[in-house]
Chains A and B, each alone.
Chain A
């Protein structure tokens, strides 16, 4: 990376502060829409951290996949399930939060201890810098070819699975009688989530 070292440090401080504060906001904010947008900010600053680590390709992939796909997907899910509900109070909620906070603080202390007491083999080999994309391509088509192909199969499976799981039942009416023709429409009457469309205009065929 050909930026001056002070600039790198300032960038690192700003990006890490954004990451940590944004993640705290994701977890703690009561409004989940704000959480989703803050999550996009966290993803962007993590992409900035990748740029500081000489990984421009993965930073671009991070922005494309996380900010462009996952975050938008989460926003869509929030819009689809955005029913204002008052959550029932749970006894001992505060105790549980404090307890889990203590556990997470302990985990954080443990991770910090491991990170600071281990003697890393520094300085390692010289980073390849801008050639990283070439190296990644070589890896993906030589020694990581099988995981690469498996990833494509995994994405296909995830796509089919998501479609099967989230599919709304296709409702159609019998052309002749106008009666509901499948189970989906019968189910529609007792599931209020499905959008109540206005009654479909009678087509020419159904009105002899």
Chain B
């Protein structure tokens, strides 16, 4: 009952949603002025990658679900990244008193 071979949703549908999510994340990463929004865009991109991993894990690797294990590691790394990124953002805000990405240009050529 739980193993109907032909899943009603094609794999490409999941891949399309993930691609859309990733591209929105990239656009936000480039265009955001607020540093917090940049971090949110990174989270969106990581989620898009996770959707891809889970889709492949379910459709192509249904017995050894290695994609799910990998998604768990990605979630772990994303949590660590969010914590350290927001800590960097806080100390940056404490030094520069702004969150405008255009003014964080100390390392610009």
| A residues in contact (CB < 8 Å) with B | 1-2, 5-6, 8-9, 12, 16, 19-20, 23-24, 26-27, 32, 35-36, 39, 42-43, 46, 49-50, 52-55, 57-58, 61-62, 65-66, 69-70, 73-74, 76-78, 80-81, 83, 85, 87-88, 90, 96-97, 100-101, 104-105, 107-108, 111-112, 115-116, 120-130, 132, 135-136, 139-140, 144, 147, 151, 154-155, 157-159, 161-166, 191-193
Contacts of A8 in B (CB 8 A): 7-9
Complex contact A88–B102 (CB within 8 A):
yes
Q: Known A-B contacts: A53-B55, A74-B86. Give 20 more (CB < 8 A).
A: A1-B2, A20-B17, A23-B20, A26-B37, A32-B34, A35-B37, A53-B14, A55-B68, A73-B86, A81-B90, A81-B99, A100-B30, A108-B20, A122-B60, A130-B2, A136-B72, A157-B80, A162-B87, A191-B94, A192-B97
A sample of 12 inter-chain contacts (CB < 8 A) reads A16-B17, A23-B21, A26-B44, A27-B25, A27-B32, A27-B37, A49-B54, A74-B43, A96-B31, A120-B59, A123-B6, A144-B73
Scan residues 71-104 of chain B and give those whose CB is less than 8 A from a CB of chain A.
71-73, 75-84, 86-91, 93-94, 97-100, 102
Contacts of B25 in A (CB 8 A): 23, 27
Q: Which A-chain residue is minimally distant from B69 (CB atoms)?
A: A139
Q: A122-B60, A126-B3 are in contact. Are A158 and B17 (CB under 8 A)?
A: no
Classify the secondary structure of A's interface with B: helix
Classify the secondary structure of B's interface with A: helix
Scan residues 6-49 of chain B and give those whose CB is less than 8 A from a CB of chain A.
6-9, 11-17, 19-28, 30-37, 39-41, 43-44, 47
Q: Which A-chain residue is minimally distant from B28 (CB atoms)?
A: A27
* Interface residues of B, count at CB 8 A: 82
Residue from the list A16, A36, A123 in contact with B5, Cβ < 8 A = A123
Complex contact B76–A155 (CB within 8 A):
yes
Complex contact A49–B40 (CB within 8 A):
no
Distance (Å) between the CB of B45 and the closest chain A CB? 10
Q: Which B-chain residue is minimally distant from A23 (CB atoms)?
A: B24
Most buried by A among B22, B25, B66, B86: B86
Complex contact B51–A125 (CB within 8 A):
no
Distance (Å) between the CB of B97 and the closest chain A CB? 7
Q: A23-B24, A74-B82, A151-B73 are in contact. Are A124 and B9 (CB under 8 A)?
A: no
